[in-house]
Amino acid sequence: MPSDRTSDFAREIAAVRETALKIAALNERFEKLHPRDIIEEAVQDPFFGKMAVVSSFGAESAVLLHLVASVRPETPVLLIDTLKLFGETLQYQNRLQHSLGLEDVRICAPRKRDIEHHDPLGTLSASDPDKCCRIRKTDVLDRGLAPFDSWMNGRKRFQSSVRSVMSIVERDGTHIKLTPLANWSAEQIKAYHKEHELPPHPLLSRGYGSIGCYPCTSKVEEGEDDRSGRWRGLDKTECGIHR
């Protein structure tokens, strides 16, 4: 007769397998759908449970936020405010929130005691950017996502080689992660922006491509990849939010 521990383990394995099969089936279906249909199906599917959107309110964020607002405007939207964001990003957040009718935007910031302990001079981004991203972004995201079962994000496969292989639905630790725009091209994003007359991030017209924290974001030159302005000169391409 199996012990309790053996049966617990068997149950756990069965649950993991079931989740993996469901994710595979969703990915097969979602690859053929428009992002709006993906979002519509996901918010109604109990598999995703309580869902939030995580947005940087950056250069291309308006597209996902517009889609979410058109499907379910009460969806919680989390902005991780690292306390190192451009003032223009916070103004843009305010503008988009009101123009799109997003009803539940939550600003998640690092704990004062963590900043005082690990980055009292505010210069950690220069000496240890990975640690800075952990304190100011990933730990904050973990706390912000704690009440939720799943989250949506706006990454696209065309943005980088790391992102080129991501799935629309993934497991992310204890959460399910949904990336409805994964297979959209840069042209489709631009066309959607234009069709819906979405306001651009104010820094785009000043030469920025991808917009994050001000110490780690620089302008991009003609012909450069948009994300090349992030952590320029470092062997770092992601903040750690997308593990």
Return contacts of 162-168, CB within 8 angstroms, 24+ apart.
Answer: 162/237, 162/238, 166/242, 167/23, 167/27, 168/26, 168/27, 168/30, 168/31, 168/38
Give the x-and-dash track for 8-47 against ligand SF4 (CB under 6 A): ----------------------------------------
Place of tokens 């981004």: 125
Cα dihedral sign for 203, 55, 42, 74?
negative
Q: Which two tokens stand for residue 6?
A: 């053996």
Per CB under 6 A, 141 contacts ligand SF4: no
State the minimum distance, in angstroms, from the CB of residue 163 to ligand SF4. 17
Q: Does 133 bind ligand SF4 (CB under 6 A)?
A: yes
Among 184, 178, 122, 117, residue whose Cα is nearest residue 152: 178
Report yes or no: 73 and 96 within 8 Å, Cβ to Cβ. no
CA geometry: angle 38, 31, 242, nearest 5 deg: 75
Dihedral Cα 82, 83, 87, 89, nearest 10 deg: 10
Q: Which is nearer to ligand SF4, 125 or 179 (CB)?
A: 125
Q: Is 125 in the site for ligand SF4 (CB under 6 A)?
A: yes
Q: Is there binding between residue 96 and ligand SF4 (CB under 6 A)?
A: no
Comparison of 137 and 177: residue with beta carbon closer to ligand SF4 = 137
In the complex with ligand SF4, which residue's Cβ is closer, 5 or 243? 243
Residue 92 tokens, joined: 């843009």
- Nearest approach in angstroms of CB 72 to ligand SF4 is 29
Please tell me whether 213 is known to bind a ligand: yes
Query: Residue 84 interacts with ligand SF4 (CB under 6 A)?
Result: yes
Q: How far is the CB of 119 from ligand SF4 (least distance, A)?
A: 8
Catalytic residues: 239
Smallest gap from Cβ 31 to ligand SF4, in A, equals: 31
The DSSP bridge pattern shows strands 169-172 and 51-54 to be unpaired
Q: Which of 216, 220, 229, 241 binds ligand SF4 (CB under 6 A)?
A: 216
**Which residues neighbour 227 within 8 Å (Cβ) at sequence distance 6 or greater?**
159, 160, 209, 210, 237
Residue 82 contacts ligand SF4 per CB under 6 A: yes
Task: State the binding site for [4Fe-4S] cluster.
Answer: 132-133, 213, 216
User: Which residues would be at the binding site for ligand SF4 (CB under 6 A)?
Assistant: 82, 84, 125, 129, 132-133, 136-137, 212-213, 215-216, 239
